[in-house]
Amino acid sequence: MSLVHPVLSWADLLGLFGHFLLLSLLAIGGAITTAPGMHRFLVDQHHWIGDAQFTASIAIAQAAPGPNVLFVAVLGWNVAGPLGAVATMAGTLLPSTALTLLVTRWGARRRETRGMRAFTTGLTPLTIGLLVATGWLLARPYVADGTHAFGALAVVAISIAGMLKTRLSPMWLVGIGAVAGVLGWV
């Protein structure tokens, strides 16, 4: 991670805030499900950070103790320092927090209605699809690298099988991935 941050104009910072605000409204299953949209905006469109820095930002934030959403602050920091972190976190947290408060109160009163049950049941495949897209996005740089492709695909396959076939805590799978990385297999 670089300590030198590009200087973004106020318009760019506002655009960064606005993009993360919109993504927040699409974050069904958590902020991590919108990582492909963040990648497209930060890496592909604006070239503010590189592919490897994007993946490393998420990995570092996910390894740190605390809420899952911390990776958003790390991405913002890598784009524009403290102002970037504030822009991305505010954009991510403001709409989702307000919407969550309103919908939770509304939904609690209608929990047993057919429409509410259908809505929550319908979100399951959507959330799984978004998580698979995020997993592929994060694995892609390692799969594309010929020296680590087999190891990266093996870790992905073991993780999927572990989640589908066992009741293991996902932390064991994270640990397996960490050991594979330390040993240089991935």
| C-alpha dist (Å) from residue 120 to 28, 45, 69 | 11, 33, 22
Q: Residue 78: inside a domain, yes or no? A: yes
Mean pLDDT of all residues in 43-54: 94
Structure tokens at 141: 């740089």
Q: How far is CA 170 from the centre of its chain?
A: 16
Q: Residue 104: inside a domain, yes or no? A: yes
Q: Residue 18: inside a domain, yes or no? A: yes
| Higher-pLDDT residue of 100, 80 | 80
Mean pLDDT of all residues in 9-15: 95
Which band of pLDDT confidence, cut at 50, 70 and 90, is reported for residue 53?
A: very high
CA distance 12 to 119: 36
For tokens 């409204």, the residue is 25
Question: Mean pLDDT of all residues in the chain?
Answer: 86
- 98 is in which domain, residue-wise? 10-121
Q: Residue 68: inside a domain, yes or no? A: yes
Contact assessment for residue 136 and residue 143, using Cβ atoms and an 8 Å cutoff: no
Residue (of 175, 172, 168, 138) closest to 153 by Cα position: 138
pTM of the model: 0.62
| Higher-pLDDT residue of 162, 102 | 102
Which band of pLDDT confidence, cut at 50, 70 and 90, is reported for residue 6?
A: low
Predicted pLDDT at 5: 60
The one-character DSSP state at 33 is G
Mean pLDDT of all residues in 68-97: 94
List b or e across 49-85, with b for residues whose CB sees 16 or more CB atoms inside 10 angstroms: beeebbbbbbeebeeeeeeebbbbbbbbbbbbbebbb
Number of domains within the chain: 1
For tokens 């995020």, the residue is 134
Q: Residue 184: inside a domain, yes or no? A: no
Structure tokens at 11: 């318009």
Predicted pLDDT at 102: 92
CA distance 176 to 92: 30
Structure tokens at 61: 């934030």
Q: 3-state class of 150 per DSSP?
A: helix
